[in-house]
Amino acid sequence: MPEEVRKQTNEPQNILEMRGIEMQFPGVKALDGVDFFLRAGEIHALLGENGAGKSTLIKCLTGVNHKDAGTILFDGKEITPTSPQNAIQMGIATVFQEINLCPNLTVAENIFVGRKEFKRKIINAKARELMQRFHLDIDVTRPLSYYSTAVQQMVSIARAVNIESKILILDEPTSSLDENEVQLLFAVMRELKAAGMGIIFITHFLDQIYAISDRMTILRNGRLVGTYDIGEINKLQLVTLMVGKDMENIFDLHPVQVAPDAPDTLKAEHLGAPGPVADISLEMKKGELLGFAGLLGSGRTETAEMIFGANRPTSGKVELKGKAVVVKKPFDAIMNGVAFCPEDRKRDGIVGDLSIRENIMLAVQAKRGFLHPLSRAEQNELADKYIKALSIATPDAEKKIGELSGGNQQKVILARWMATQPDLLILDEPTRGIDVGAKAEIQRLMLEMCKDGVSVIFISSEMEEVIRCSNRIVVMRDGKKAAELTGPFDSETQSKILQIIAEGGEAS
Amino acid sequence: MSVRTEKRQSLLTRIMNPKYMMVYATVIIFLIIYAYGAIRYGKSGFTTLRTFVNFFTDNAYYGISAVGMTMVLITGGIDLSVASVASLTGMIVAYGYERMGISPVITMLFSMLVGIGLGALMGAAIHYLNVPPFITTLTGSFLARGICSLISRESISMNHPLIDQLAGTKITLYHLVDGEWVKIKPITKIDMTVIIFIVMIIAGTILLQHTRFGRNVYAIGGNEASAKLMGLPVGRTKIAVYAINGFCSALAGIAYVLVVKSGWNMALLGGELEVISSAVIGGTLLTGGVGYMVGTMFGVLLKSVIPAIINFNGTLSSWWGKIATGGLLLLFIVIQRLVVSYTERKRK
């Protein structure tokens, strides 16, 4: 593996050349002499952990932030984008992770608002054509809010593509898509690439990078690590370059040993609700980690919500710690020692304007009831304890949680539920959208909790994580429990799970 | 044959587009109440064309103002100054002629400029200074009402041939009986104020549905941050919307002068709430992004048809009208919530 920083050379087919970009934020140098070169007709992955400078680099290019030093050559001419609008006009289109469209406008209006095409008939016809290119047969005259997040994401890409742009920036476009939709998006990306567009692709999913990219540029701590052809380095080397540590070390995690005679924490029999899930039976021992694998929408989240009382099951019964309980609402579950970290951190998890301390206190206080408030001293003690235990990167407990990075926000939410001292902790996609280092830390924390006798249900789309940490794995498919695998797991497990998801049958 | 059924299906899906649901709800409720009146009081003249035209006449000045208000609400804003600006317009016109001898033509044009200017000013404050619309327009309302009282604290009645002529301009409706045009009985006349109202509704519809400006208005109401990122002229559009609303307020003030032929500093007190509730009953979402002029028109009609029924009944206290309107408003807010949560549930 090359040790020195790899500089790119000047090539005639470069559509974009960013040289020596520097960007200073108060107290931190976000970009320090970064070079980035994009060829026409390539998909170029931009990689790095949170805070590595990916977003800042993109923001400099799209005019959201203004660089302090360096030059940007676009099509051979030097440019200084002043605003997103300005960048769009020059031919640099961006699709953000959050969908930046208007839910009340129709699909067609969303694609064309602000463009020269205006008449309803024309834009409807053009939008239909465009969506068909994306293999989506939808009614473009319906309001955008009528459609799923995945479709909305496709519409926002359609809008970006429709601008006669030469560069398309996709910032985490796949985080809300399932496997089929990702494939659809990749097909469109390949088409655009063939048409000569330069695509910058940002994602946390390493598999997707290898599936679609031609080259990759890695950043770390605001500096350029290097640019590589996709075949040049493997996944392990890539992560090592991103993290700056050896991946073998950071992911040296193993499932916790569970005593065979440990008492049951959870026993669910024939849980079901019409629509999402049917006939789920689960059993968990104290200190066990149960992984949930399956595709998005296969019923993983819905099952967890039924146990937590956010969704009422219409059939089946639940036993917690050997005692039959009726969980009608989340509060009942909390009182019985169940904790649930929901999937959408931004929407269901954090209260952005409250401090870290207040965010940690929320669940504890709810459990105690408002008549038994925690004193400020107790709160401070508790907050400091978890900030230290989880190594949350913050100057103090009074910082607003909204100002933390994704990984640190996730740790605060973990702390919130750990503080309630649960017997059963359900984590729904706790590692989504956070960087590799933080992922490893979250997983280590889960395993430590298991050691302390907490039973953990771990839901994740990233199969490697599930396999690495779980004692047992439940594979979900179409709202049913397709299989249950018992560890220890080996290198074959992943293909076995994939096979079950694909074919639905119980693997032999 | 198959082509035809296909076309019919597409028409049906077009009609059933969820974005029109609120307007349908307003129209249906209007029809239900109208049908009730027709059955109960059909014999005493509820079903005549004159009664129907009176629905327009009764609240025409609120209707004119509601055209601008609908646009403001669609952007996600609100304007509490409309009634004060309308009152100020009346005062300018009346004081201008009676005390200073200025022709109403000039004072009317001047008050329109005042309306547009004040609207644009408030729009600019809302957009550039980030003051919530509620506060900004409340301030604007106090300002307009204050100037009004400064001009005169008593009612000034006015007498000018132009005003009389405008107020007297009516279109009498005829119908064909045995090949001859005769006046509809009972004699039905359309007032100048109603003409202005209908013209404004049509103009508003064209502006909202068939111009870039209109689409930007909807986009801003849907998600202002997104609209900005999509490169739409958010500031310009918002200022224009408040300016247009200021113009509508002034026009409503002129229509009001035509009805009462006077200027008074306390005229139309609380009228802004009538205007806002008309738009909301017409299916405009207070959270922005949704609303149609046709809906607003039916909202105004609904506010006329209820007092009409109480009038025809003859024994009920007129305050039942307020209670019914309040109930209706509540009903609509509930329906809006249901429609919104339905579409949210619909998407998977």
| Contact check, Cβ <8 Å, B13/A113 | no
Distance CA A230, CA A228 (A): 6
Residues A241 and A379 in one domain: no
Q: Find chain B residues with C-beta within 8 A of A109's C-beta.
A: 215, 218-219
Q: Find chain B residues with C-beta within 8 A of A163's C-beta.
A: none
- pLDDT at A367 exceeding the cut of 70: yes
Lowest mean pLDDT among A29-38, A241-250, A387-396: A241-250
Type of residue numbered B273: L
pLDDT score, position A275: 66
Angstroms from A332 CA to nearest CA on chain B: 25
Retrieve residue A457's tokens. 């249900």
Of the candidates A14, A40, A11, A39, which has an alpha carbon nearest to the alpha carbon of residue A195? A40
Residues A316 and A385 in one domain: no
Of the candidates B74, B18, B14, B72, which has an alpha carbon nearest to the alpha carbon of residue A120? B14
Residues A91 and A34 in one domain: yes
Q: Which residues of B, range 174-203, sit inside 8 Å of A by Cβ?
A: none
A331 or B256, which is more confident: B256
pLDDT score, position A5: 55
Q: Find chain A residues with C-beta within 8 A of B19's C-beta.
A: 104, 106, 142-143
pLDDT score, position B145: 95
B231 touching A, CB under 8 A? yes
Range of B29's domain? 25-38+47-312+320-338
Residues A146 and A91 in one domain: yes
Residues A368 and A438 in one domain: no
Of the candidates A153, A206, A170, A177, which has an alpha carbon nearest to the alpha carbon of residue A62? A170
Checking B40-43 for CB contacts under 8 A at 24+ apart, the result is: B40/B309, B40/B312, B40/B313, B41/B309, B41/B312, B41/B313
- Exposure of B333 by Cβ count < 10 A (0-12 exposed, 13-18 middle, 19+ buried)? middle
B345 domain-assigned: no
A84 or A103, which is more confident: A103
- Nearest chain A residue to B75 by CA: give it: A104
pTM: 0.73
A115 touching B, CB under 8 A? no
The domain boundary, picked from A218, A250, A282, lies at A250
A5 domain-assigned: no
**Interacting residues of B287 by C-beta distance below 8 A, sequence separation 6+:** B76
The SS3 assignment for B152 reads coil
Lowest mean pLDDT among A57-71, A173-187, A203-217, B204-218: A173-187
Q: Find chain A residues with C-beta within 8 A of B347's C-beta.
A: 145-148
Q: Which of A85, A100, A104 sits opposite B290 (nearest CB)?
A: A104
Residue of A88, A101, A102, A295 to mutate when probing chain B, most B C-beta within 10 A: A102
pLDDT tens for each residue of chain B, 348 residues long? 333 333 444 677 777 777 788 888 889 989 999 999 999 998 888 888 888 999 999 999 999 999 999 999 999 999 999 999 999 999 999 999 988 989 999 999 999 999 999 999 999 999 999 999 999 999 999 999 999 999 998 899 988 888 888 888 888 888 888 888 888 878 888 889 999 999 999 999 999 999 999 999 999 999 998 888 887 889 999 999 999 999 999 999 999 999 999 999 899 999 999 999 999 989 898 888 989 999 999 999 998 998 888 888 888 888 888 888 888 888 888 887 787 777 666 554
Distance CA B94, CA B254 (A): 10
pLDDT score, position A346: 66
pLDDT score, position A28: 67
Q: Are B275 and B103 in contact (CB under 8 A)?
A: no
**Average pLDDT of span A312-325:** 81
- pLDDT at A313 exceeding the cut of 70: yes
A143 touching B, CB under 8 A? yes
The SS3 assignment for A422 reads coil
B210 domain-assigned: yes
pLDDT score, position B67: 97
Residues A223 and A275 in one domain: no
* Max mean pLDDT range (A318-332, A438-452, A484-498, B209-223): B209-223
Per-residue HEC secondary structure of A310-373 comes to: CCCCCEEEEEECCEEECCCCHHHHHHCCEEEECCCHHHHHCCCCCEHHHHHHHHHHHHHCCCCC
We report the CATH number of the domain holding residue B61 as 1.10.3470
Residues A31 and A112 in one domain: yes
Q: Which of A96, A141, A148 sits opposite B347 (nearest CB)?
A: A148
Residues A436 and A328 in one domain: yes
Residues A374 and A471 in one domain: no
Distance CA B67, CA B244 (A): 9
Q: Are A476 and A506 in contact (CB under 8 A)?
A: no
pLDDT score, position B65: 97
A105 touching B, CB under 8 A? yes
pLDDT score, position A245: 64
The domain boundary, picked from A250, A282, A310, lies at A250
Lowest mean pLDDT among A113-127, A159-173, A344-358, B280-294: A344-358
Q: Which residues of B, range 275-314, sit inside 8 Å of A by Cβ?
A: 289-290
| Contact check, Cβ <8 Å, B226/A139 | no
pLDDT score, position A345: 67
A98 touching B, CB under 8 A? no
B237 domain-assigned: yes
B56 domain-assigned: yes
Residues A40 and A137 in one domain: yes
| Contact check, Cβ <8 Å, A100/B212 | no
A100 touching B, CB under 8 A? yes
Distance CA B249, CA B144 (A): 12
We report the CATH number of the domain holding residue A458 as 3.40.50.300
A276 touching B, CB under 8 A? no
A411 or B289, which is more confident: B289
A179-194 vs A149-162: helix crossing angle, rounded to 10: 10
Angstroms from B340 CA to nearest CA on chain A: 10
DSSP structure class, residue A504: -
Residues A36 and A46 in one domain: yes
Angstroms from A450 CA to nearest CA on chain B: 34
Cβ contacts below 8 Å, chain A against chain B, sum to 77
B341 touching A, CB under 8 A? no
| Contact check, Cβ <8 Å, B219/A102 | yes
Q: Are B235 and B77 in contact (CB under 8 A)?
A: no
A470 domain-assigned: yes
Q: Which residues of A, range 46-85, sit inside 8 Å of B by Cβ?
A: 84-85
**Average pLDDT of span A256-269:** 78
| Per-residue pLDDT tens over the stretch A430-462 | 887 677 777 888 888 888 888 888 888 998 877
The number of folded domains in chain B is 1
B191 domain-assigned: yes
Pairing, β B180-183 against β B170-172: unpaired
Q: Please, which residues bridge with residue A272 across strands?
A: A315
A331 domain-assigned: yes
**Residues recorded for chain A:** 508
Q: Which of B19, B219, B290 sits opposite A113 (nearest CB)?
A: B219
Residues A415 and A399 in one domain: yes
Angstroms from A146 CA to nearest CA on chain B: 5
Range of A159's domain? 14-250
**Phi/psi of residue B263, nearest 5 degrees:** -120, 140
pLDDT score, position B81: 96
A3 domain-assigned: no
B170 domain-assigned: yes
pLDDT score, position A9: 55
Angstroms from A22 CA to nearest CA on chain B: 24
| Contact check, Cβ <8 Å, B289/A102 | yes
The number of folded domains in chain A is 3
Distance CA A174, CA A297 (A): 15
Mean residue pLDDT across chain A = 82
Cα B115–B116–B122 angle (5° rounding)? Answer: 90
**Average pLDDT of span A104-127:** 88
Q: Which of A105, A114, A139 sits opposite B13 (nearest CB)?
A: A139
- Nearest chain B residue to A89 by CA: give it: B231
